[in-house]
Structure 1
Amino acid sequence: MIRWITASLRNRSGLRGAASAAVLAAAFGPVGPLSAVDLIGVAESPELSSVLITTRKAEPSDAVTPEHTLEPISQISDYEPELADPLGSLPVAPDTPDEPSAVLQATPEPVTPQVTQTGTTPRVAQLKSAAQPRAASPTVVSDAPSDTDAVRQAKFNGVLPGTTTLAELIKAWGEPFRNTIAQGDLSGKVLSYAMKPFKLVEVLVSENVVRVVRVTLAEPSAIADLEAKLKLVAVDSVDVVDPETARLLGVSYPEKGLTLLTTKSSELAGPARIGSLVLEPLESKAFTLRAENRPWREMTARLADLDRAITLDATDAHAWWLKSVAHLDAGQAEEALQAANEATSLRAGSAAYRLALAQALVATGDIDKGVVTTREVLDDPSAATLVRAQALHTLGSLASLGGSSIANKSIGFHTKAIELADELSTSPDRLTRQTARRVLVEAHLAIANEIARREYKNRDALVADWIGRASGLAEAAIDAEDGDLELRLQVAREAVSALASMRPSKDPSPWVTEAEETAATLLTGSEDPLFKARIAWELGDTCYSAVRVEHIRGDASQALQYGAKAIEQLSAGAEPRITAPLAQRTVGELYFYLGAVNAVHRQNHAEAVGWYDKSQPLLEDVGDSELVTPRRTGEMLVSMGVSYWQEDRHELAISITERGAEVMQKAIDAGVLEERSLEVPYSNLAAMNKSLGKTAEATRYTKLAQSVRGTGAANVAAEPEAPQAVKPQATPVAKRPAAASATQRQAAQPSSTEVRRTPRQAGRGGAVWTTR
């Protein structure tokens, strides 16, 4: 069992009452110049929510007798998806460094941040494992510490930048042969030394302290040789790359305060070679750069880099921003919010930082404020295209939580996010390209789930098409090494979620198998606890959706097997998510469905109430929001009431059924449930009260049941056609490796429609995505 630790929700002030409802409604209005989409105006109509209510076998009756069979709403198939400044460019060693006055030029201004993966900035550096082989070369002398002391800042001939004074330098090395004033933005003076076997050694001194030591080698050397001789193999390095030409400028070792600079001429003839070494005090931006360019799965190491960066410079807004994004990726909601608040307090004008804040607010349950903050990002004319794409996707996901009039705009937001992300999916910058492709995959999957929960013409085929195209985009990104294999797990998870929103549904096992195989591959060789927890949570969420599917299909045995897997995996991934209300709700819903399977399919109410006791507090204690419309919660509570009644817990049965009816009324008011749905809880309450001899209450509920019988249908507008999956003018995507069966994807589709994987056409921003 998951021993869920429910964190105390923060006291939240702000959006409440009628005024807040107006603010939230405005937040989902047209997006400035992007209003051409105008968000696919969909007719307001209740979403599919309770199948049992519309398929009752009992004939209508004007009177409720004591023998009335209580009717659970536990076969609900719920057509609801589950929601969820760089290191400055370093100077390149001159081919012939004979002009010392030009050797220590000022560092160029940092690249202006733009959003990348979940909000990172496109950096032109790529992480290299310290153990990766590189090519080979001559001897270099250094005072570098031993491998066991790899994290200590590097010295050169007894000189430690940031610590050694001018007097100590002169005492150790003697007088320089040249002493010049530093040029450019650098302040201080440059002392030049002739020191064999090096061509030149220069020292920047400012305020009587050594700031930088630059050593120009007699001959360019291979990176691998220098790493071995300087004992750097235990230190993760990060490549520093020219943002315009993608040329390797150097290799940085943040713990050492050391950067190896390449020569221009050697790279033209073959692999880059090192012409000089630069030693500086430990610097925040070096750790930030490495964190930003670490492989996505190195979550713990990324956060360690960012913590070190912030320790060195607590005013590094970029590091705080990346820390917020990293915590969100790891599921750590409160930590993400704290870091996002720090970033925005330091740099309030950054749209990217404010988007991270919005996402952290949502993750901690402050959804209303998250909506308003996301909308502010979209209304910011300075927001970069990729930030806007991410914000549109975020707002689309938030819209799906609202009532009918707001939820109907969800697809439009996602569609516009796809349009903008497509423009950047062929960007020469790796991180920008990766993030754009991730937005494309996620937005396609979000649309598939939104269509799945509604009554659209050709819904089954459309869902299959959107999921198929998401799969194609994911596989194309993986094949191009622009996407982590986790994208495949994400597609499988969302495909099962879509199946759980459809009735009749299909066998989810091919998708679950793919999720399990992908998770196993992802975890091979990984010891990162945060990454392992994330993958376990995603796999557990997949199994939870499979429980819902098998409940719809009436296979209790298979549902309970998936439930056991879901509990195991969610337990393994729960610890980082103890402050995430939406994650808490996922556990609560899993417990409910395990109870419903026992109650409905096995008529085992004793076992059911054991699960319901665990479920009830997790379902309702998820914060207060003007936006979120309770779709399934009311019906779940009503269904629980039946089992509690059967187990002679009469007072609880009545109170929880009454609470369920109240929550259902909210869903009806929001346009996502028909009014006639209330006939079940009212009839149940009439029967319960009559059985207990409470005639007046029984009569009142009987009249209420009669009043709602047959209502709702006449006022429901017909659903429009759902948007077709975007059709690129494209070439076929490469086949997936044989180990990942393509037939598995098709087998679990809600129709026989073939799943097509067609990536975008390369070109200026790729093919223009349009709606068929």
Structure 2
Amino acid sequence: MVTLRSSTSHLVLTLAATCVHLAAWANEEPSAPPRTLMRLPGWIESLGEDQARPAVESGIGIGTPAPIGALEPQPADRRGVARPVADWSATPPGAAPTVMPVAAPATPAPAASSSPASSFRRWITERVATLPKPTEPASPADAASPAEVEQPIAESQPSVTAPVAVTPDEMPTLSIDPASFRGALPGRTTREEIEKDWGVGEAFTRPDGTSGLAWAIEPFERVEVTLADDVVEAISIKLAEPVVVADLARQLEIADLRTVAVRDEQDTRIGEVYPERGVILSVEPGTTNATAILIEPLDPDSFVLRAEEEIEKCSAYAVADLQYAIQIDPQHIRAHRLLLAMTSDQGKWTQALQLAEAAGRLDSEDVWTKLKHAGVLLALDRPQEARVVLDRLATLPNTSPLVVAQAARLSGRIHLAQKKPDEQKAVEQFAEAIRRASPLLTKRSPALQAAAREVILDAHLGTALAIAKGTWQQKSRVIPKWISRADVVVKEFEGDDLERQVLELQLCRGALAASAGSTEAIEPLPWVKRLLELRDQMGDGIADPWRRRQIDWDVGQGLADALTAAQKRGDATDMLDNATLTAAYLERGAEHRELTAAERKSLGELMFRIGIMHSLQRGDHATAVTWFDRAIPLWDTNDRFERDGDLGRLGESYVSMAISYWQVARREDAVTLSRRGVDLMVAAVDKSQLEERALAVAYGNLATMYAEQGDDQQSKNYAEMASRAEATGTIR
């Protein structure tokens, strides 16, 4: 047996054959195969270390930072606090998704030295149970303390209860079947055809100008057919006596369909619509009795009306209705706008962009569409295009103060998202947004107040983030003040609990983003607790599985920022458990999202990091490859690495993953990954983004793999290439 070790003794691999020393290939053929090493890049080996060095930020601003007074928010209400203080031990465990991979038990690695559990670890321990196998439902179990867990612990990783879907999880299919009456179908049957079947009717003309024919047909009191260009437009059937709506629906075999109520100005129900059939039951106001049946061609407005009522209850149904409304009327602007808002919330960016462009063509001066269009482009990491759309908005006449505030807020976000962020201009734009939106909080319209409040909250959080990421002085004093003022905006809200929770979720995410932006910002731990508690509260009141996944995605993003903040502060304690919980939320939240290239990159990096920690800290390659299997599809064909100049790191990551695949006997995968990694690293060297010497690790690992497979010539070739690369130490 030959033992292959990483250069820092983090990784031990046992291969059942002989290998060849790399340097020997460069000089002569060895007579006997000595020991060799299969190595990891140094930066990847550091991922498995228990502690990290804190990042150091300069206390002096670079460039021309604004005076500290200019960055401070207006005095906050005394109820505002800089950092919430929470009693972790008093918080009950809650629900979260279960999506962590399980692998067969691996050979135990030496147990790590025990250390006191951090507050975050105690929180994790309280809220998790034994990890179930993927094919088995989650079942609660007592979590073992860190000292009692034997390494590796592939069968006892943190797990939590997944949300239970009580409404359709996938896109429902509408049962479209337009209703007819005695063979007459609105929109198709002609006057000649209906008179041939029903006989000559009595002509009538209504005060609104519509005209048609009427018949006395048993058992109904009267049947009227409205005509347009001698084609049946609608059929109105007046009942001889009122019938309970539910009973009539059963008689018409439409009781199983979703309906939507038609209401008058006093919010009294006057009708019940069945959009898939084109049927409207006229309801006697104040009762549940139907007095007439109206049959019309399928109307997009009825689908949109039902979607508006379904949006908060079941996103899947609402999306299906809006999509069908656009299908039968591609010019329906309201359907486009509603579906644009929903797809944006759900992270379906390609569809959202198409809808934004279509809505823009239907109404080129609609300010809401332009704001949404710019927001979608920003989410797709196209800030320059978002800026162009926003500039067009500024040219429109009679723009309301709310739109000006929303545009300023979005402009601030664009400044932060640019390839070269301009934090100074971002702060200026956020300040303008706050100035414009603040007076709107006193308006009588609840909708206007809500929109203004959301702008003010986001502008405060955006300012904190800009200061955290920029070159400002006294960050540790100013950032907490902006977060505190944002907290006051949420605390002062006196409306619906769900609306308040949405604002608080935005607050927690913004606070954690600022914490990740600078070591001088607020500490992340209290906000992590508040975020997880909030998720539990929201989960209890939301049945829509799509909406719950949106919340899980937001929670996962917040936890990812918390991981970054902890890493910057040099706190890598319990990083594996924390990262695993973060991945669980993100994977659950991503189920119905269309991840952007940046999101796929970052989520893949998280899963890669988890896999590396399993392999380095615990020697558990079986679990490691389950995480790598999830990371690789997120990275393949992802052009974000090339745009960010990270092809070299991507290649080194593939080379590192290949070691675990080799250890679990997935050797073809290991060789394929190694070769792919080499190709990427060579491309990075050609672009002067990677030292040529870095290729020595990849070439050396391939030499070892080919030697083990008995391909001595390939092994020799790669060993010679490794020796040459090791000797260069320069950039091409």
* Bucket of the pairwise TM-score, normalised by the shorter protein: 0.5 to 0.7
Q: Any conservation in 2 of the 1:508–1:549 contact (CA below 8 Å)? A: yes
Letter in 1 for 2:577: Q
Asked if 1:212 is matched to 2:234, the reply is: yes
Deviations 1:392-417 (A, max 9, x none): 33222112224788432323433444
Q: 1:466 corresponds to which residue?
A: 485
Contact 2:415 2:421 in 1 (8 A): no
Answering whether residue 393 of structure 2 is matched by residue 377 of structure 1, we say yes
Q: Which amino acid aligns with 1:337?
A: L
Give the one of 489, 494, 498 matched to 1:476. Answer: 494
Secondary structure of the corresponding residue to residue 348 of structure 1: coil
Gaps of 5+ in 1: 1-41, 49-128, 131-147, 662-690, 699-772
**In 2, are the aligned partners of 1:358 and 1:371 still within 8 Å (CA)?**
yes
Q: Is the 8 A contact 2:174 2:276 kept in 1?
A: no
SS at match of 1:190: strand
Amino acid at match of 1:310: I
- Quick one: which of 321, 340, 359 aligns to 1:324? 340
State the alpha-carbon separation in 2 of the partners of residues 507 and 615 from structure 1. 34
Q: Which residue number corresponds to residue 335 of structure 1?
A: 351
Question: In 2, are the aligned partners of 1:499 and 1:506 still within 8 Å (CA)?
Answer: yes
Aligned partner of 2:596 in structure 1 is 580
Which residue of structure 2 aligns with residue 516 of structure 1? 532
What is the letter of the counterpart of residue 211 of structure 2?
A: K
Aligned to 2:311, what secondary structure does the other structure show?
coil
Give the deviation of 1:306 after TM superposition.
1.8
**Structure 1 residues 350 and 215: alpha-carbon distance in aligned structure 2, compared to 1, 3 A threshold:** same
> Matches of residues 162-177 of structure 1 in structure 2 within 5 Å?
162-171=187-196, 173-177=198-202
For residue 211 of structure 1, give the secondary structure of its aligned residue in structure 2. Answer: strand
- How far apart, in 1, do the equivalents of 2:435 and 2:281 lie? 41
Give the letter aligned to residue 536 of structure 1: D
Query: How many angstroms does 1:282 deviate by?
Result: 0.4
* Structure 2 residue identity aligned to 1:408: Q
Q: Tell me what 2:280 maps to.
A: 259
- Cα 1:355–1:249 change in 2 (3 A) is farther
| Counterpart in the other structure of 1:314 | 330
Aligned CA distance change for structure 1 residues 318 and 166 (closer, same or farther; 3 Å): same
Alignment match of 1:189 (pick from 187, 211, 216)? 211
Q: Deviations over 1:595-630 (max 9, x none)?
A: 99999x9999x999x99x9799799943999xxxx8
**Structure 1 residues 559-638: aligned runs within 5 Å:** 559-578=575-594, 580-587=596-603, 590=606, 621-622=639-640
Q: 1:426 & 1:210 partners in 2: Cα distance?
A: 52
* SS of residue paired to 1:408: helix
- Cα pair distance change 1:568/1:403, threshold 3 Å: closer
Q: Is the CA contact 2:600–2:635 (under 8 Å) kept in the aligned structure 1?
A: no
Tell me how far 1:580 sits from its aligned partner: 1.3
- The structural deviation recorded for 1:544 is 0.8
Quote how far apart the aligned CAs of 1:43 are: 8.2
Mapped to 1, the partners of 2:293 and 2:268 lie a distance apart of 18
Change (3 A) 1:415 1:153: farther
Given residue 381 of structure 2, which amino acid in structure 1 is its aligned partner? G
Equivalent of residue 409 in structure 2, options 393, 404, 424: 393
Tell me the distance in 1 between the aligned counterparts of 2:174 and 2:633. 51
Distance in 2 between residues matched to 1:692 and 1:183, nearest whole Å: 93
Shift of 1:542: 1.8
1:567 positional shift: 1.9
Report the AA paired with residue 181 of structure 1.
T
The one of 157, 164, 186 equivalent to 1:161 is 186
Amino acid at match of 1:464: I
Conserved? CA contact 1:223–1:273, under 8 Å:
yes
Q: Which residue of 1 aligns with 2:509?
A: 493
The within-5 A match list for 1:9-20 is none
Is the Cα–Cα contact under 8 Å of residues 153 and 257 in structure 1 kept in the other structure? yes
Cα offset, 1:206, TM superposition: 1.6
Contact 2:212 2:224 in 1 (8 A): yes
* Counterpart amino acid of residue 258 in structure 1: V
**Are residues 259 and 497 of structure 1, via their aligned partners in 2, closer, same or farther at CA, if it must alter by over 3 Å?**
same
**d(CA) in 2 for partners of 1:440 and 1:247?**
36
CA displacement 1:213-253 (0-9 Å, x = unmatched): 234556777766665665554333334456x7666564433
Partner AA of 2:386 in structure 1: G
Following the alignment from structure 1 to structure 2, what is the Cα–Cα distance between the partners of residues 534 and 210? 45
Q: Is the 8 A contact 2:465 2:514 kept in 1?
A: yes
**Counterpart AA for 1:516:** L
- Work out the CA distance in 2 between the residues paired with 1:342 and 1:240: 29
Report 1:112-261 matches (<5 A).
Answer: 151-156=176-181, 159-171=184-196, 173-177=198-202, 179-181=203-205, 183-184=207-208, 189-194=211-216, 200-216=222-238, 232-241=254-263, 250-261=271-282
Q: How does 1:316-465 map to 2 (within 5 A)?
A: 316-381=332-397, 383=399, 386-402=402-418, 406-418=422-434, 435-454=451-470, 455=472, 458-465=477-484
Per-residue CA deviation, residues 309-328 of structure 1 (Å, 9 max, x unaligned), is 12212233432333333222
Structure 1 counterpart of 2:556 = 540
8 Å contact from structure 2 (residues 453, 489) kept in 1: no
Alpha-carbon distance change, 548 to 159 in structure 1, aligned in 2, over 3 angstroms = same
Q: Deviations over 1:514-564 (max 9, x none)?
A: 433444555569786643542332222122112122223433233332211
Q: TM-score, with normalisation over the residues of structure 1? A: 0.53
> Which one-letter code corresponds to 2:280 in the other structure?
T
Amino acid at match of 2:258: D
Indicate which of 311, 321, 327 corresponds to 1:305.
321
Given residue 234 of structure 2, which amino acid in structure 1 is its aligned partner? Answer: V
Please give the alpha-carbon distance, in whole angstroms, between the structure 2 residues aligned to 1:656 and 1:45: 38
Q: Which amino acid aligns with 1:549?
A: A
Q: What secondary structure, in the 3-state scheme, does the structure 2 residue paired with 1:409 have?
A: helix
Distance 1:586 1:207 in 2: 60
Whole-angstrom CA distance in 2 between matches of 1:204 and 1:564: 64
Quote the offset at 1:513 in angstroms.
Answer: 3.8
Gaps of 5+ in 2: 1-61, 69-165, 168-172, 660-676, 692-724
- TM-score, structure 2 as length reference: 0.56
The answer to whether the aligner puts 1:294 opposite 2:310 as a matched pair is yes
Counterpart of 2:185 in structure 1: which amino acid?
L
Q: Is the 8 Å Cα contact of residues 423 and 469 (structure 2) preserved in structure 1?
A: no
Tell me if structure 2 keeps the 8 A contact 1:364–1:579. no
1:161–1:211 contact (8 Å) kept in structure 2: yes
- The structure-2 alpha-carbon separation of the partners of 1:545 and 1:344, relative to structure 1 and needing over 3 Å to count, comes to same
**How far has the Cα of 1:512 moved from its partner?**
2.9
Root-mean-square deviation over aligned CA pairs: 5.3
| Counterpart-to-counterpart distance in 2, 1:424 and 1:219 | 52
Task: Write the distance in 2 (CA, Å) between the matches of 1:254 and 1:443.
Answer: 41
If you compute each CA radius of gyration, which structure gives the higher value, 1 or 2? 2
Superposition deviation, residue 439 in structure 1: 3.9
Show the counterpart of 2:162.
Answer: none
Q: How big is the shift at 1:308?
A: 0.8
Aligned residue pairs, count: 508
Relative to structure 1, is the Cα distance of residues 446 and 351 closer, same or farther in structure 2, using a 3 angstrom cutoff? Answer: same
Q: Distance in 1 between matches of 2:223 and 2:440?
A: 44
